[in-house]
Structure 1
Amino acid sequence: MDTNDLSIIYDKLLVIHQMMNNNLNEQARLLGYNTSEYLVLMDLAVHPDTDLTSLYSRLGMKKSAVSKIVQNLVERDIITRQEDLDDKRKVHLALSESIANTICKHSAVKQAFAGIEQKPCDLANIQNALDDVIAMLDSKNQIL
């Protein structure tokens, strides 16, 4: 693969990233959250009963930033925090009942990709292509 091919892929990923960010910003605003809060809520909808380490790893955010967001959402009764019975150092996070109906797994994923049904596409090919990009990036990260 030459540099031009990689440049085209990179540019397209940047466009996708910007479009996803714009969509998430709008969804967050409509529900009364900032984008970071909304990302945490969407992740908890898709991965219920998760722990803080898994949460910040999936989101690619700093632990301190996620901890601050989680604390704020706990204080507002939007998410719940419960100690692990077997490991007191571990804390389970989940959407509170008051918000669970508003943000469910189905709507979280659907909202992130709002409008995708408007253009027919081969989702299997898209998934395969994204898997290839992830594999390329992962092998590069292992070399570094």
Structure 2
Amino acid sequence: MLMDKIYEIVKEIQSISKLINKKISNNTKCEKFTLSAFMILNQLRSGKVKTLTELGKTLGIPNSTVSVIVDRLVNMGIVRRERDKDDRRKVLLCIESEGIDQDEQIFKYHMDNFGKLFRNASEEEIKHILKGLKTLENVIMRG
């Protein structure tokens, strides 16, 4: 019985994820940025220069994946690599002004779209959604 419920949770998460992606991913300007790329830009925008390894650990993404995404962002002129002055073995990642602009536009785009998705939700429904998400997060963190 418990495994049936767990399977149902997994299916609901997949279904919601697909639905959100379908509803939100219709802007060609934002389509060139995967969620992982957006999260990397967001981390770099926080002001702290980071290495690939630090980004991977912070975001829970394998270094190989971070490396591929960063390569793409570097080629787009949004991120640049710099050698650490104190430790030449370290490569630091910095966001360019173009990256900050892109990050702001993508954030605004997603917030506007999420606003549209939830515009018909009541205050009570929003509270239930938040409570459920926080419960899910707590259960996963204990697991």
TM over 0.5: yes
Aligned to 2:36: 39
Aligned to 2:97: 97
Q: Secondary structure at the match of 1:9?
A: helix
Q: Secondary structure at the match of 1:102?
A: helix
Please show how residues 78-97 of structure 1 align to structure 2 within 5 Å.
Answer: 78-97=78-97
> Does the alignment pair 1:125 with 2:127?
no
Kindly provide the amino acid, as one letter, of the partner of residue 111 in structure 1.
H
CA positional deviation for 1:21 = 3.6
Kindly provide the amino acid, as one letter, of the partner of residue 30 in structure 2.
L
Could you state the TM-score of these two structures normalised by the residue count of structure 2?
0.66
Alignment deviations for residues 12-50 of structure 1 (CA, whole Å, 9 cap, x no partner): 1111222344356435x3336153xx6323432245333
State, as a whole percentage, how many aligned pairs show the same letter: 22
Unmatched 5+ stretches in structure 2: none
Contact 1:84/1:90, CA 8 A, preserved across alignment: yes
Change (3 A) 1:41 1:18: same
What is the RMSD of the two structures over their aligned residues, measured on CA atoms? 3.2
Aligned to 1:142: none
Count of aligned pairs: 132
CA positional deviation for 1:8 = 1.9
Q: Name the CA distance, whole Å, in 2 between partners of 1:20 and 1:88.
A: 42
Could you state the TM-score of these two structures normalised by the residue count of structure 1?
0.66
Aligned to 1:111: 110
Aligned to 1:134: 140
Kindly provide the amino acid, as one letter, of the partner of residue 81 in structure 2.
R
Contact 2:44/2:95, CA 8 A, preserved across alignment: no
Q: Secondary structure at the match of 1:92?
A: strand
Q: Name the CA distance, whole Å, in 1 between partners of 2:79 and 2:101.
A: 12
Unmatched 5+ stretches in structure 1: 140-144
Task: Determine which structure has greater relative contact order: mean sequence separation of CA pairs < 8 Å that are 6+ residues apart, divided by chain length.
Answer: 1
CA positional deviation for 1:2 = 1.5
Q: Secondary structure at the match of 1:103?
A: helix
